[in-house]
Homo-oligomer: A and B are copies of this chain.
């Protein structure tokens, strides 16, 4: 693990307990390290689950089995293994996941299908069954731990633990929503993210929970990119324990559904931004907003073309207001765009408009903005009403250093 990202929050947030959620961690020693790397979350009976998983076609066994569990809609436990993604490990990898599911279902006396397993780390090495078995046995015996301990235990190359919370009022009850996440490389949209887990004590039916999560995911985890790479293991799960005592939400127009959806979205956005802030080698957090596109989806594709451009990302690392590279990225997105109607701003300064540099714009506030850690780029396409915001980080020597070395 490298030094903490300069974009990290000053401290891990205070997060409330969620009734029906018990966290434990243990040392499975999946790698040659002395830290907790197995997280075991016990969930109350009656917990609903929803989720989004990677679209990478070479996904891990864990992802395939999470998808089956999500389709059933109920959960009793979550296991997260850190240090080994168990991806591309064929039948041997599958055996390890089956072993974990069987052990946990035996321990809890629940259906095997109610056990969710995720793994993150190196690809291509089967998860060692003996370490998983011993780690689980230790986790079963461990005392419950804090959110921060669990958030630390799921990390791999991350430089800080990621947590977030929100509340929502449903009828006369206040429900809590807490999330933890990990991820700092191999981050790109069209997937959930690396790993993110959201827990709430709200009572909500799985189908509605899924609708809320899918909608939140679109504008949060699926709107971030660190390096355009899509992991084979990415999983976002939300668990609702129904312990808050609110009348169960069965439809999107039920009382409090909007509030719960907004709170889930807020937690997802907070975690997604933290993942970008921990982007490998990141020195700047970049928000790219696109307006005036033909549609929202067109705006998002343009935003991601900018966010994924190595030339834009290196320019930001160099604190260079190189809007020419932004023009290039808009043009390569393949979406409707008219060079002569484009306007581009850095921070609050319009630097180009109507296909031309703005004559004699004041470079002082632009330079000052680019020296900061939070960069805003706004592109107006000038063609329609579509808009989107995406988030990324800059591309620095740190990214190269981290990724030219990392393996096993």
Contact = CB atoms under 8 A, between A and B. Distances in A.
Interface stretch (A25-33, A45-53, A258-266, A334-342): A334-342
Most chain B CB within a 10 A radius of its CB, from A124, A308, A397: A124
A313 to B, nearest CB: 9
A266 to B, nearest CB: 29
A310 interface: yes
A356 B229 contact: no
A155 to B, nearest CB: 18
Contact of A354 (B90, B330, B332, B356): B90
A334 to B, nearest CB: 7
A329 B231 CA distance: 9
A311 B356 contact: no
Counted per complex, copies of this chain come to 2
Given A328-B186, A397-B397, A58 B229 contact: no
A357 interface: yes
Interface stretch (A161-169, A207-215, A237-245, A319-327): A319-327
A358 B360 CA distance: 62
Contacts of A140: none
Nearest to A91: B356
A85 B331 CA distance: 15
A368 interface: no
B324 A123 contact: yes
Contacts of A4: none
A403 B59 contact: no
Interface in A357-408: 357, 395-397, 399-401, 403-405, 407
A74 interface: no
A317 B400 contact: yes
A35 interface: no
Contacts of A311: 185-186, 227, 229, 403
A56 interface: yes
Given A311-B186, A397-B400, A400-B395, A59 B331 contact: yes
Q: Interface residue tally of chain A, by bracket?
A: 35 or more
A230 interface: yes
B327 A123 contact: yes
A232 interface: yes
A5 interface: no
A371 B322 CA distance: 36
Interface string A221-256: 000000111111000000000000000000000000
A57 B227 CA distance: 23
A315 B403 contact: yes
Contacts of A314: 399-400, 403-404
A191 to B, nearest CB: 8
A328 B230 contact: yes
Contact of A315 (B336, B357, B404): B404
Contact of A228 (B123, B186, B310, B356): B310
Contacts of A318: 403-405
A356 B405 contact: no
A330 B88 CA distance: 12
Nearest to A59: B331
A309 interface: yes
Given A58-B331, A332-B56, A88 B403 contact: no
12 contacts: A55-B334, A57-B331, A58-B330, A59-B339, A123-B324, A124-B323, A229-B309, A230-B328, A232-B327, A314-B404, A318-B403, A320-B404
Q: Which 3 A-B pairs have the closest CB atoms?
A: A123-B324, A58-B331, A318-B404
Given A186-B328, A317-B404, 9 more contacts: A56-B332, A57-B332, A58-B328, A122-B324, A123-B327, A124-B352, A232-B327, A310-B310, A311-B403
